[in-house]
Structure 1
Amino acid sequence: METGMSAFSVDSQTATLILMAAIATYATRLGGYILVNSLKRIPPRVESALNAVPAAVLVTLVAPPFVNSGWDVRIAMIAALVFGLRFPGLMVLVVGWAAVMAARHGFGIGM
């Protein structure tokens, strides 16, 4: 580390990037809120499309690691899915973590 720099210093480019990302996120959320509130009635097709967004985002986040990772990650995802149908989120995280640890350290899968 250079002299005079703390471990928590942020250069101006990083700070600008964080600020711009925050502004873009806020503008997107605000724009969606304004758009939905400006409509007197949301058309059924638009409402159906909006209802499908969370599932599409979840599949987009989960499918690539499931396909591209080892069996340890697949086992954890399947265990999390099974427990996610019945238990709250924190329990699902613990079960997923435990499944990965058991697969890697208990059975030597994925190491």
Structure 2
Amino acid sequence: MTVDFSTLLAIVAMAVATVLTRLSGLLLARHVSLEGSRRNAIESIPPAVLMAVVAPTAFATGIAETIACAVTAVAALRLSMLVSVVLGVFCVALLRAVGI
């Protein structure tokens, strides 16, 4: 297997950009007060991202996936992101196992 130098350079550049983006977010968050509507806006980002990832699956696949997406969406309203995703994965696996 050979590695092209430009491909390697692109991968390293993307990794550096990712790390810098994450670190800058952590550093800037120290200087911003998160109260009231700002806090609510920040807390609504993870469920919104989850729905942006899950929604295409709900509309482009079978009934088992659509039901699992709905379960994940409802769970994301009250539970943590990890629990919501695990519940969605479990739900689709169970529905596929029973033949839905």
Length-normalised TM-score, structure 2: 0.66
Task: Confirm or deny that 1:24 pairs with 2:17.
Answer: yes
2:50 to 52, 58, 67: 58
Match for 1:96 among 72, 92, 97? 92
For the structure 1 residues 31 and 80, does the alpha-carbon distance in structure 2 shift closer, same or farther, using more than 3 Å as the test?
closer
Answer with 56-65 or 21-30: which moved more: 21-30
Tell me, in whole angstroms, the C-alpha distance in 2 between the residues paired with 1:18 and 1:31.
20
Alpha-carbon distance, 1:92 to partner: 5.4
* Aligned residue identity for 2:93: W
Please tell me the residue identity of whatever aligns with 1:99. Answer: L
Identity %: 27
Aligned to 2:38: 46
> Which whole-Å CA distance do the structure 2 matches of 1:79 and 1:42 have between them?
30
RMSD: 3.0
Contact 1:66/1:74 (8 A) holds in 2: yes
Deviation at 1:75, TM superposition (A): 4.0
What letter matches 1:29 in structure 2? R
Aligned mates of 1:95, 1:27 — CA distance in 2: 36
- Residues 65-85 of structure 1 deviation map (CA, whole Å, 9 limit, x = unaligned): 101222242244456678997
> Hey, what's the Cα distance between the residues in 2 that align with 1:79 and 1:37?
35
Contact kept in structure 1, 2:68 and 2:88, CA below 8 Å:
no
Task: Provide structure 1 residue ranges, at least 5 long, that are not aligned to the other structure.
Answer: 1-5
- How many corresponding residue pairs? 94
SS in 2 for 1:10: coil
CA distance in 2, matches of 1:81, 1:43: 26
SS at structure 1 position matched to 2:24: helix
User: Quick check: which one's helix share is greater?
Assistant: 2
In structure 2, stretches of 5+ residues that fail to align are: none
Moved over 4 A (4+): 78-85, 88-92
